[in-house]
């Protein structure tokens, strides 16, 4: 099979041994594309992994949707509403929840916490898989493992729960103190929950806060939390007197920050590809200067300007394609190794994670390759146009 003469000449120029400088410049251009493409794929894989892991950890403990009072206060534990919600398609489970801020005090230390009053159904459906020791019983709390460690608490230890806005006296509000026991320890892997949340039976929380049968919200767990928008729409229509909060809107600031971070990473690393494209352009300019006489001969033999231009565009795209291909292999390979061996550790109090998560997206790989090819193509246009506009007569005379 005969290949087009433009491709044949481009390959001849690329691999001709005597063109030492041109070969070195092409190698530098390829190296630049390898670094740019590989770094971009690796960085995007890390960003995807971080985003996916944070979302999975949030969904591991948080419910998909909350139905709360429109005014922001407490609301009655309405069993009729709960039954109607349970009948909606896609709903997995419904829980009544009461939460408040408090201070947890051991014999030696104390710390600020958020305590949640929940039914045993919530523990069985949502938290049971994270419980390391103990169980969920009345007049006691489940506490996060890191919080228990910092307060030097163990299962069976007594602990004081101090409610800042407790009893009213002639001198104002006096903190209310309740003695409880530690009945269990959990660890979700999500820093915010493990260090700040404690759980107790809903009836105990209602007695401590003296709110009767009032709750903060009705929490809904879905089979597919990523289809939450349709459930929010249904709930908003059926329960217009309540405020509907999805897990996405509740964590909107975090998700926006992660999305913005990914965009910034992409733009910064894209600059490496743009710089690498200058190396391709410089390589082609040197090749055009070296091959002026060849260009003149080809033109005198009937080659059109567009064909001359195509030769150098193909030359540049071959160099770019080699670099992009190796860069994709290097980037995805590095991501796979990093995800498998997890040799980079992170401070959990900052990132919510202790290792670097990796998630390779085929869409990101394809998009990166296309972006690199487009940038490389644009870099070839000036040298190729210059080659096509070379004067024929002067070069033939020389």
Mean pLDDT to the nearest integer, 20-45:
83
Q: Are 131 and 185 in contact (CB under 8 A)?
A: yes
> What are residue 135's phi and psi, to 5 degrees?
-150, 180
The residue with greater pLDDT, 45 or 3, is 45
Co-location of 292 and 179 in the same domain:
no
Co-location of 123 and 37 in the same domain:
no
In a domain, 235, yes or no: no
Average pLDDT over the chain reads 87
Mean pLDDT to the nearest integer, 144-151:
92
In a domain, 367, yes or no: yes
Tell me the C-alpha distance between 313 and 379, whole Å: 9
In a domain, 97, yes or no: yes
Give residue 20's domain range: 5-58+254-397
Among the candidates 199, 215, 231, a domain finishes at 215
Indicate the pLDDT class of residue 13, thresholds 50, 70 and 90: confident
In a domain, 224, yes or no: no
Tell me the C-alpha distance between 104 and 151, whole Å: 9
Co-location of 382 and 310 in the same domain:
yes
In a domain, 273, yes or no: yes
Q: How many helices (H) and strands (E) does the chain have?
A: 15, 12
pLDDT value at position 321? 93
Co-location of 104 and 179 in the same domain:
yes
Indicate the pLDDT class of residue 170, thresholds 50, 70 and 90: low
Grouping H, G, I as helix, E, B as strand and the rest as coil, residue 91 is strand
Provide, rounded to the nearest whole percent, the portion of the chain with pLDDT above 90: 51
Tens-place pLDDT, residues 268-301: 888 888 988 888 898 888 888 888 888 777 877 8
In a domain, 393, yes or no: yes
Among residues 246, 225, 208, 178, the alpha carbon closest in space to that of 116 is found at 208
Indicate the pLDDT class of residue 1, thresholds 50, 70 and 90: low
Pairing between strand 172-186 and 140-144? parallel
User: Which of these ranges, 88-97, 199-208, 285-294, has the smallest mean pLDDT?
Assistant: 285-294
Q: How many domains does the chain have?
A: 2
Mean pLDDT to the nearest integer, 63-78:
90
Co-location of 273 and 388 in the same domain:
yes
Instruction: Say if residue 256's pLDDT is above 80.
Output: yes
Indicate the pLDDT class of residue 169, thresholds 50, 70 and 90: low
In a domain, 222, yes or no: no
Instruction: Say if residue 260's pLDDT is above 70.
Output: yes
pLDDT value at position 204? 94
Instruction: Say if residue 376's pLDDT is above 90.
Output: yes
pLDDT value at position 86? 92
In a domain, 302, yes or no: yes
Structure tokens at 314: 């193909």
pLDDT value at position 299? 79
pLDDT value at position 102? 93
Q: The CATH number of the domain where 137 resides is what?
A: 2.40.70
pLDDT value at position 359? 93
Indicate the pLDDT class of residue 244, thresholds 50, 70 and 90: very high
The residue with greater pLDDT, 16 or 135, is 135
Q: Are 244 and 236 in contact (CB under 8 A)?
A: yes
Indicate the pLDDT class of residue 174, thresholds 50, 70 and 90: confident
Indicate the pLDDT class of residue 95, thresholds 50, 70 and 90: very high
Co-location of 116 and 154 in the same domain:
yes
The residue with greater pLDDT, 108 or 321, is 321
Q: Give Rg (Cα) of the chain.
A: 32
pLDDT value at position 392? 67
């Amino acid at each position: 099979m005969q290949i087009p003469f433009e491709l044949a000449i481009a390959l001849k120029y690329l691999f001709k041994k005597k063109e030492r400088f041109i070969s070195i410049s092409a190698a530098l251009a390829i190296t630049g594309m390898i670094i740019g493409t590989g770094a971009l794929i690796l960085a995007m894989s890390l960003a995807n992994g971080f985003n996916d892991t944070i979302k999975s950890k949030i969904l591991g403990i948080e419910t998909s949707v909350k139905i709360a009072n429109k005014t922001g206060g407490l609301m009655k534990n309405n069993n009729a509403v709960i039954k109607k919600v349970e009948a909606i398609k896609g709903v997995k489970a419904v829980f009544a929840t009461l939460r408040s801020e408090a201070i947890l005090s051991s014999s030696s230390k104390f710390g600020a916490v958020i305590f949640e009053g929940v039914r045993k159904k919530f523990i069985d459906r949502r938290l049971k898989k994270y419980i390391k020791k103990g169980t969920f019983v009345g007049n006691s709390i489940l506490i996060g493992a890191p919080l228990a460690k910092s307060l030097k608490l163990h299962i069976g230890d007594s602990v004081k729960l101090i409610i800042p806005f407790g009893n009213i006296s002639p001198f104002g509000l006096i903190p209310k103190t309740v003695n409880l026991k530690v009945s269990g320890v959990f660890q979700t892997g999500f820093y915010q929950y493990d260090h700040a949340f404690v759980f107790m039976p809903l009836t105990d929380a209602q007695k401590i806060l003296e709110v009767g049968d009032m709750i903060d919200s009705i929490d809904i767990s879905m089979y597919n939390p990523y289809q939450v928008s349709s459930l929010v729409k249904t709930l908003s229509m059926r329960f217009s007197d309540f405020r509907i909060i999805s897990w996405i809107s509740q964590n909107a600031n975090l998700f926006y920050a992660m999305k913005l971070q990914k965009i910034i990473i992409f733009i910064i690393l894209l600059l490496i590809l743009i710089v690498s494209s200058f190396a391709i352009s410089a390589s082609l300019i040197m090749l055009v200067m070296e091959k002026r006489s060849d260009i003149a001969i080809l033109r005198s033999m009937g080659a059109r300007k567009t064909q001359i231009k195509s030769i150098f565009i193909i030359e540049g795209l071959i160099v770019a394609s080699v670099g992009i291909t190796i860069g994709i292999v290097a980037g995805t390979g590095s991501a796979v190794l990093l995800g498998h061996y997890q040799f980079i550790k992170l401070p959990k109090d900052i990132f919510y994670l202790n290792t670097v998560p990796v998630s390779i997206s085929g869409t990101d790989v394809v998009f990166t390759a296309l972006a690199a090819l487009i940038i490389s193509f644009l870099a070839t246009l000036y040298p190729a146009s210059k080659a096509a506009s070379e004067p024929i007569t002067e070069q033939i005379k020389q």
